[in-house]
Amino acid sequence: MSDFEHAQLSPWGYIIDAETIPDFITMAEFYNFTNGKFGSDTRIAINIPSATEAIRNYCGWHVAPSLSCGIVFNVKDLRDAFVGRDLLVQLPATYITAIEKIVVNAVPNAETNEYDGDVMTEYDIGMGTGLLRIYDVGCLDRKSKIFVKYRAGYNNTPNVLKEQTADRVVHAVANPYGVSSESAGGVSVSYSGTWAGSSNASALADNTREVLNPYKVKGVY
């Protein structure tokens, strides 16, 4: 049985089992957030994916929805991650719901589309941090690899991410008209300084980054 049905490499360096990943908000949700103030502006549909991508790139992972994921670590890159016979690795996620498989001395099997090797069952995972401790790994060849399959991401996109996505879209749509501040529904935006000159939905303000920091991956090896 294959480890993944729809395996593809994500922009954040790990495998996701999905053909596509939905944006954080739909057009209908955007209109609800803004009370339909922007009508049928065609730029909204263009800017929602850009804003979603910018937030995901800042966080360092897909965040939502919940997906089966996989990552391969090169042992040679983990020299500082060994604690005695244990190994500490940071999974690229801040919300883990399950560890599905850990394989050391992992070798890809082209026939089964799986990773063969020594399966490890003793571990500890910080569900809210993504920090994985694999017990009693022992000495590994520096050329070997470690494969971890896990499930990460929120089933439902957190409202704060939806709000920040809508905020960026409002900024992109309103700012080109010279608007210095905008309030629509549950979204309020003010433009100041040189950053206000950016009408790109992918440009994240400092206050947006602060709000996103709890979802940002830290200490990736």
**How confident is residue 198, by pLDDT bands cut at 50, 70 and 90?**
very low
What are the start-end ranges of the H helices in the chain? 27-33, 43-59, 159-174, 206-212
Dihedral angle over CA of 91, 96, 102, 108, nearest 10: -70
Q: What is the pLDDT of residue 205?
A: 82
Q: What is the pLDDT of residue 181?
A: 52
**How confident is residue 140, by pLDDT bands cut at 50, 70 and 90?**
confident
Whole-model pTM above 0.75?
yes
Tell me: pLDDT of 7 over 90: no
Amino acid at 214: P
